[in-house]
Structures are given as C-alpha cells and as structure tokens.
Amino acid sequence: MIDADRHAENLARTEIAAVGKSLFDRGLTFGSTGNISVRLEDGGWLMTPTNVSMGALDPARLSRFDGKGNHISGDKPTKESVLHMAMYGQRRDAGAVVHLHSTHSVAVSVIEGIDPLDVLPPLTAYYVMRVGRLPLVPYLPPGDAELALAVEKLAGKHHAVLLANHGPVVAGTTLANAQFATEELEETAKLFLLLRGTAIKPLTPQQVDDLRLRFDLK
C-alpha cells in the first residue's frame, strides 16, 4: 500500500469510529446493533465488525475487504455485510453505507398498511433532499442471502431502503452524507409517529418536484 492510500485508509478508520460513537451516544444505535462501511480508494472496503458496540469501535480492528468482497484482515465481519455489498454493487457513487436498527424507523416498518413503494410522506424539504422515496423491503432474516437480493433490486433506483421489522440501509457519496441521510430518515419517522391520528399537510407533489429539479435530485 502506498503512503497516500495508507493515509486515506487511516482517516477512514478514524472517521468510522467517530461516527459510530456519535450515533451510539445519541441513542441512534444500541447494544451491538448497526454497522457502517466505507469504500476505499483501492476498491476495497472497511466495515464495522460483528458483535461490537458502535460506541466502542477500535479503528485498527475494523473488518477489511478487498475489491472482490473477500474479508482479508481485521475482526470477523458482520453478517449484514451482504446488505452493504448489495448497495455498493448497484451504486457506483456510493462511498459509504450506514445500517441502523434505529427505534422510530423500525417502528414505522412494522405498521400495517404503509405504502411499500414509499414508506414516509414528504413532511419536510430536507427529507426529500436527503432521503427521497423510501421503499420497504419485505421481512427476511438478518444475513439471509435473499434479503441482500431484495436490497440489490431496489438499490439502483434508491439510495435508502427500509427493511421491514429491521431498520434502514442508507448509502451516500461520503460517510457524512450517509450519516446525515440516515439521521434525517430517523427524525422524519419520529415526526410521522408523533403526528399519527392528526390531519397533516405534507409537501405537495408539485413542491416535491420543484425540490428535485432545484437540487438535481434523482
């Protein structure tokens, strides 16, 4: 590994640990749930290991994958690594993926009758800008190959999906972008639950289209 690549990888390791601690400290992840990954300049990936709290990540022990998705160093990877690889495989612009079991997002995923093509209404402009349309992936057991295939089918058109009875998987061009989109999703899920039973005024289709055009959203 040349010095520039080594330096970039070390920065990515530090950033993953810092983001993991931030998410954990603010209650967006708990126990050993959730995982983060970052695509490296050599085509490989770093990922948080299995059975480790995101509040206590050791940058030196992150799981390291080569460009073919083989685990080559670091601690044993999470069984949910397949969700990350499904996103990366369909999104060449993805530089990072965040997967959480965040409370409000999971709560929305188990509500009977929500629209599986677009789970949350466009309550705010920033939800439209950071998340957009959010499809629901039907329930399958964690780590199941069929779950990864279900995510893969949606990932080409959606950088964020919600796994039923499980949680969100969100890709971003950078780790910061993936983090911010995941947090926006969670806060919108919280708003949605707070407003249940109340007449609401989400953004109109015209307002959503204007945002998509104004900010070149896909």
pLDDT in tens, 51-70: 999 999 999 999 999 999 99
3-class SS at 177? helix
- Active-site positions read 126
Between vectors from CA 184 to CA 16 and to CA 64, what angle results, nearest 5°? 20
Please state the domain count of the chain: 1
Round to whole Å and give the CA distance between 39 and 146. Answer: 23
CATH number at residue 94: 3.40.225.10
pLDDT in tens, 5-62: 889 999 999 999 999 999 999 999 999 999 999 999 999 999 999 999 999 999 999 9
Q: Does the model's pTM come out above 0.85?
A: yes
Backbone angles phi, psi at 148, to 5 degrees: -60, -40
Q: Which domain holds residue 131?
A: 3-214
Residues 87 and 96 sit within 8 Å (Cβ to Cβ): no
Round to whole Å and give the CA distance between 29 and 154. Answer: 24
Half-sphere exposure in the Cβ direction for 88 (13 Å, CA) = 24
